[in-house]
Amino acid sequence: MLYLGKGGMESTAINLARGLDRTRFRPVIIALDEAGEHEEELREAGIEYHVLGGRRLRDPRFHWRLFQLLRRLRPDVVHTHHFATLLHTVTAARLARVPRLVHTEHSWQYLEHRSDYRRALRWMSRLSDVFVVVGNAMAPYYRDHVRVAAGRLRVIANGIDVDVYRPVTNVAAARRTRGLPTGVTVGTAGRLFPEKDYGILVRAVAGLILSHPDLHLIMIGDGPERPALEALAVQLGVADHVRFLGWRSDVADLLPLLDVFVLSSLREGLPLAVLEAMACGVPVVTTPVGDLPEVIVEGRAGFFFPIGNPDALAAVLRRLVAAGAERHAIGRAGRQRVAERYSLREMVNAYAGAYDG
C-alpha cells in the first residue's frame, strides 16, 4: 500500500512484491492515487494491483472504498510505506479486521519540525504490529522521539537485485548506443528536489571543466528543481557538459556507464540509487547522510564529502577523474559489499519474517 510515484520507496515496494515466494505469498499492490508508469511494469511482473485514486483523508467515501477493497481481498497482512500512506490506510485496515499491519518509514527528517506528525505516528505505531525503518541510523529517532515501542521496531535495510544492477563489459560501446558522451562521466539519479542539493554537484563539476574538458555530468531524473539547475549550468558556462535525461525506465542500463556516481543530499535514509550504483561497479561519492557511513567504507568502497561543500566534492572528483585504476578498484569493492550485505534476497527474507510474525 503506497503512492506509486517515482523514487526509491516505490522501487523498493515493487521489488519486494517481485521477490516474495509466490508459493507462500500473493502480493497485491494498492496505489492510493495512481499507478502511473508502473502499471506496465506490474503487469509484466504478474503482480495484481489496484488503483484507488482520489484519496482524501477527510472524505469518508475514500475510506469506504478502501474498506470495501480490503474486505474483498481479505489480506492477511497490509504493508504501508511512509507516514501519509499509513494515515490514509489505518482506519480502513482496522475496520476490515486485517490481521496484521506492517509499516515502513524510509526517512525521518520530515518529522523534525512537525510535532503533530510525530504524535500521529506515535499513535499509529501502536496499531502496527511491526514498524520498520530502513537503516540503523533511523532507529534511535523513531525510538526516542516518535516513541515507537522497542518490541515493534525493526531495521530492514533496502536491498537490490545484483543480477539486474551489474557492470557492463564494453562501456564505450554502450555509451555510443545510448548517445551518451565519451570521456569521463560523473552522474547521479533521483528526484530533482531541493533536499537533493544538486546545485553543488553542478558547481563542483563546473570547477573541473577547465582542467578536464572531457568531463560530463549526467542527471537521471526529474522534478521541480530542473529549470533552476539548467539555468545554473548556463550561468556557469557548462551547459554543453551537463545532460538532463529526465525519468528513464532503463536506469539499470545507464548507471554502469558512469565513471563516478554522486549523491549530494542534505538528508536520506538508505538511498536505493547509491546501492544500485555500487552494484553496477561505479564508485560513489556522497554526503555522510543516513546509513551511508555504514554502507560505504571510506576510501575503499567510496568517498564522503561534507554537506553543502562543492569545493570538497570537486577535490574528491578531481582525484577520481585522474585515477582510472583507483576508480575500478573502488567500484569492484562497492559491488562486493552490496552483494554481501544489501541484496534483494536479504531484504525480501527479512520482510517475509515480519509478515509471518
In which band, very low, low, confident or very high, does the pLDDT at 204 lie, cut at 50, 70 and 90? Answer: very high
In which band, very low, low, confident or very high, does the pLDDT at 2 lie, cut at 50, 70 and 90? Answer: low
Taking the domains of the chain in order of start, what are their residue ranges?
A: 8-159+343-356, 171-341
Question: For the whole model, what pTM was predicted?
Answer: 0.86
Lowest mean pLDDT among 5-9, 94-98, 156-160, 340-344: 5-9
Q: Which residues of 269-279 are buried (b: 16+ CB within 10 A; e: fewer)?
A: bbbbbbbbbbb
Dist. CA 267–CA 9, nearest whole Å: 15
Report DSSP letters for 54-77, one per residue.
---TT-HHHHHHHHHHHHHH--SE
Query: What letter does residue 256 receive in the DSSP assignment?
Result: G
Lowest mean pLDDT among 25-39, 80-94, 247-261: 25-39
- Intra-chain end-to-end CA distance of the chain, in Å: 19
Residue 323 contacts residue 300 (beta carbons within 8 Å): no
Q: Is the pLDDT of residue 200 over 70?
A: yes
pLDDT digits (tens, 9 = 90+) for 255-287: 999 999 999 999 888 899 999 999 999 999 999
Q: Is the pLDDT of residue 1 over 80?
A: no
Grid cell in block for residue 93 = 485496515
Coil, helix or strand at residue 65: helix
| Residue located via cell numbers 531524473 | 221
Q: What percent of the chain has pLDDT over 70?
A: 96
Coil, helix or strand at residue 229: helix
Sort strands 215-220 and 48-51 into parallel, antiparallel or unpaired.
unpaired
The larger pLDDT score, comparing residue 112 to residue 236, is at: 236
pLDDT digits (tens, 9 = 90+) for 28-39: 999 887 766 677
pLDDT mean across residues, the chain: 91
Grid cell in block for residue 38 = 508502473
pLDDT at residue 253, rounded to an integer? 95
Question: Superfamily assignment of 171-341 in CATH?
Answer: Glycogen Phosphorylase B; (3.40.50.2000)
H or E element, residue 217: strand 215-220
In which band, very low, low, confident or very high, does the pLDDT at 173 lie, cut at 50, 70 and 90? Answer: very high
Contacts of 42 (CB under 8 A, 6+ apart): 14, 29, 35, 49
Lowest mean pLDDT among 8-12, 68-72, 91-95, 256-260: 8-12
Dist. CA 348–CA 177, nearest whole Å: 34
Domain 8-159+343-356 - what CATH class? alpha beta
